[in-house]
């Protein structure tokens, strides 16, 4: 399985700025053929992503979705609309949406289901809020997995990506989680998935990923890829992260 490396821009970049980002990044990214790459811009820049990426193998997608197909939901965007734009991925359950929009398990499970109805890949974000041991983090991570994915049959579960993003490692001033904690969290997530008979799910890490630490995280056992936040706003930094290789890969 190729490593999966993607970026979520959050509420950054206008369509014009996104077009400029792609003009810098895409000529370099298309030469990286041993990775699966994706970019999640804000909704207004999705068309710019489609135009820049549709002739490449780089995926694009959205940072949220409404669970209903259509209707009186002013300001929301449906999975059908995203699929029509050619989206491959939909980010679901990021800690900022859980916090700012009070998104809980029932809603997140419905968003996962809507995304799969339109054959897009949900990227479910899970992670504990407070820094502590993996034993302290386990109940939160398992609850989030069960709440959003527990109703999926194994065949559908294998079409999901899980992004482990400890909340305390996200944002300006935060630092990447320690290597042993990342590895332990990925083992925990993998055990839960295997207990549901899902064996092909990519489990990726997000939280203060940047060019200085990408290689060391990517080389950890059980880490299938990286989910990059603010560092990816610099197209050259994202190119550098996307091309990161472990020592084993270089050999």
Residue 101 main-chain phi, psi, to 5 deg: -115, 10
Q: Which of 173, 171, 194, 187 is nearest to 220 (CA)?
A: 187
Mean confidence (pLDDT) of the chain: 96
- Architecture of the domain defined by 3-250: Alpha-Beta Barrel (3.20)
d(CA 6, CA 9): 10
Name the E strands within the chain.
3-8, 35-40, 59-62, 89-92, 121-126, 161-164, 202-206, 225-228
d(CA 146, CA 126): 11
In terms of Cβ atoms closer than 10 Å to its own Cβ (0-12, 13-18, 19+), residue 219 is middle
DSSP 2: -
Q: Once rounded to an integer, what is the mean pLDDT over residues 42-71?
A: 98
Asked if residue 186 has pLDDT above 90, the reply is yes
Asked if residue 249 has pLDDT above 70, the reply is no
Catalytic positions are 94, 165
d(CA 229, CA 240): 14
Q: Once rounded to an integer, what is the mean pLDDT over residues 203-215?
A: 97
Crossing angle of helices 179-195 and 134-149, rounded to 10°: 40
Q: What is the pTM of this model?
A: 0.96
Asked if residue 99 has pLDDT above 50, the reply is yes
Q: Once rounded to an integer, what is the mean pLDDT over residues 7-18?
A: 98
What are the pLDDT digits (tens) for 112-127? 999 999 999 999 999 9
Crossing angle of helices 134-149 and 105-117, rounded to 10°: 50
Asked if residue 97 has pLDDT above 50, the reply is yes
In this prediction, residue 250 has a pLDDT band, given cuts at 50, 70 and 90, of: very low
* Residue-level pLDDT at 251: 40
In this prediction, residue 248 has a pLDDT band, given cuts at 50, 70 and 90, of: low
Q: Regarding predicted confidence, which is higher, 247 or 42?
A: 42
* Residue-level pLDDT at 245: 86
């Amino acid at each position: 399985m190729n490593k999966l490396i993607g970026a979520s821009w959050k509420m950054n970049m206008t369509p014009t700025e996104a077009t400029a980002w792609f003009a810098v990044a895409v000529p370099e990214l298309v030469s990286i053929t041993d990775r699966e790459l994706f970019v999640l811009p804000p909704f207004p820049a999705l068309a710019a992503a489609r135009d820049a990426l549709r002739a490449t193998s780089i995926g694009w997608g959205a940072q949220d979705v409404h669970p209903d197909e259509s209707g009186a939901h002013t300001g929301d965007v449906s999975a059908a609309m995203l699929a029509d734009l050619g989206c491959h991925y939909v980010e679901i359950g990021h800690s900022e949406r859980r916090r700012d929009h009070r998104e809980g398990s029932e809603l997140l499970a419905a968003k996962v289901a809507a995304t799969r109805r339109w054959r897009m890949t949900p990227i479910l974000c899970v992670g504990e809020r407070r820094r502590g041991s993996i034993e302290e983090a386990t109940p939160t991570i398992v609850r989030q997995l069960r709440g959003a994915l527990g109703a999926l049959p194994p065949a559908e579960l294998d079409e999901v990506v899980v992004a482990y993003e400890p909340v305390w490692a996200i944002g300006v001033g935060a630092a990447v989680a320690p290597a042993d904690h990342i590895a332990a969290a990925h083992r925990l997530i993998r055990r839960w998935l295997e207990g549901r008979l899902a064996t092909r799910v990519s489990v990726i890490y997000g939280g203060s990923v940047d060019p200085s630490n990408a290689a060391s995280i990517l080389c950890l056992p059980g880490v299938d890829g990286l989910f990059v936040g603010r560092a990816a706003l610099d197209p050259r930094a994202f190119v550098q992260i996307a091309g990161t290789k472990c020592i084993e890969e270089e050999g």
